Amino acid sequence: PKADALLLSDYDKGVLDDAVCAAAIAAAGGKPVLADPKGPGWKKYAGATVLKPNWREAAEFLASVPQASPPAGSPDDSDAEQAAHRIRRTLGVQNVLVTRNARGASLACADGSSLSFPARAATVQDEAGAGDVVAAVTCLALAAGASVPVAAWLGNVAGGAKVAKFGTLTVSVYEILEALGESFPRSERKLLTRAPDGGDATVAAL
């Protein structure tokens, strides 16, 4: 009840089965729910606010759906947006955000509109963990009251900051702001203020 949003981070290990996902989405009671899918059986995410597969996962899912095959090869923005809408309509989720590594991300919105965001990283060191960062930051932005397009845009910015680093690492608020053109002295980046009680958005993660 104290959470402002719910993140279903599925690693296909058996915890997030159909019953758990359905119960979690119902318990959210209309609060934002972001699902980062893995494995087969995506119908368990029905009702989620945002589904966030990568392009490979999206293509594999569409290949399993009759008359919904994805385009062959590397998709352009239009291809990815159309594929995201097919997933959205097939599963009954509100919005679908497809991450595409060096090609950025594409969003299919509940109102039928589409958006694509270019990749933000100037250099790519390591893509491992970038999808987790996109999911976490997008969900946190939704928890703070951002619209889905703004949250997805910010998640894409954070993902670009992640791939510029080697290893499965977190991304700080300073790194996100620097990806947007801000600059900070090294001393300021090492200082953290105590968060005010009750003032920050919170995400429940499963």
| Catalytic residue positions, numbered | 132
- The full length of the chain comes to 206
| 3-state percent breakdown (helix, strand, coil) of the chain, nearest 5 | 40, 15, 45
H helix or E strand, kind and range, residue 26: helix 18-28
The tokens of 116 are what? Answer: 């694509």
The residue assigned the tokens 């109102």 is 111
String of DSSP letters for 72-104: SSS--HHHHHHHHHHHHHHHT-SEEEEE-GGG-
The tokens of 60 are what? Answer: 């594999």
Beta strand pairing call for 114-117 and 105-108: antiparallel
The C-alpha atoms of residue 68 and residue 50 are separated, in whole angstroms, by: 20
The tokens of 56 are what? Answer: 């490979």
